[in-house]
Amino acid sequence: MAVDLLLGLQWGDEGKGKIVDVLTKNYDIIARFQGGPNAGHTLEFDGIKHVLHTIPSGIFHKNATNIVGNGVVIDPVIFKKELDALKKFNLDIKSILLISRKAHLILPTHRLLDAASEASKGKAKIGSTLKGIGPTYMDKTGRNGMRIGDLELDNWKEKYRALANKHEAMIDFYNVDIQYDLKELEEQFCNAVEELKQLTFIDSEEYLYQAQKQGKKILAEGAQGSLLDIDFGTYPYVTSSNTTAAGACTGLGVAPNQIGDVKGIFKAYATRVGSGPFPTELFDEVGETMGRVGNEFGATTGRPRRCGWLDLVALKYAVRVNGVTELMMMKGDVLSGFKTLKVATAYTYKGKEIMHLPYNIEAENVSPVYKEMDGWAEDLTQMTKVEEFPKALNNYIDFLEKELEVPIKIVSVGPDRTQTIHR
Residues annotated as catalytic are: 13, 41
Whether 100 and 69 have beta carbons less than 8 Å apart is answered as yes
Nearby residues of 52 by Cβ (< 8 Å), 6 or more positions away: 17, 39, 40, 41, 43, 59, 82
Query: Which CB sits closer to ligand IMP, 64 or 228?
Result: 228
Beta-carbon-side half-sphere exposure of residue 88 (alpha carbons within 13 Å): 5
Residues 105, 6, 371, 347: is their CA dihedral positive or negative? positive
Beta carbon of residue 227, minimum distance to ligand IMP (angstroms, whole number)? 10
**Separation CA 262–CA 320 (nearest Å):** 11
Beta carbon of residue 34, minimum distance to ligand IMP (angstroms, whole number)? 10
Spacing of C-alpha 211 from chain mean position: 25
**Separation CA 145–CA 122 (nearest Å):** 27
Query: Which CB sits closer to ligand IMP, 38 or 212?
Result: 38
Query: Which CB sits closer to ligand IMP, 128 or 345?
Result: 128
Residues 378, 379, 380, 384: is their CA dihedral positive or negative? negative
**SS3 for 394?**
helix
The residue number whose beta carbon is nearest to ligand IMP equals 274
Beta carbon of residue 346, minimum distance to ligand IMP (angstroms, whole number)? 25
Beta carbon of residue 137, minimum distance to ligand IMP (angstroms, whole number)? 9
Query: Which CB sits closer to ligand IMP, 174 or 209?
Result: 174
Q: Specify the pairing of strand 29-32 against strand 218-221.
A: parallel
Beta carbon of residue 161, minimum distance to ligand IMP (angstroms, whole number)? 25
Query: Which CB sits closer to ligand IMP, 130 or 312?
Result: 130
Q: Binding residues for ligand IMP, per CB under 6 A?
A: 11-13, 38-40, 126-129, 131, 133-134, 223-224, 228, 237, 239, 273-274
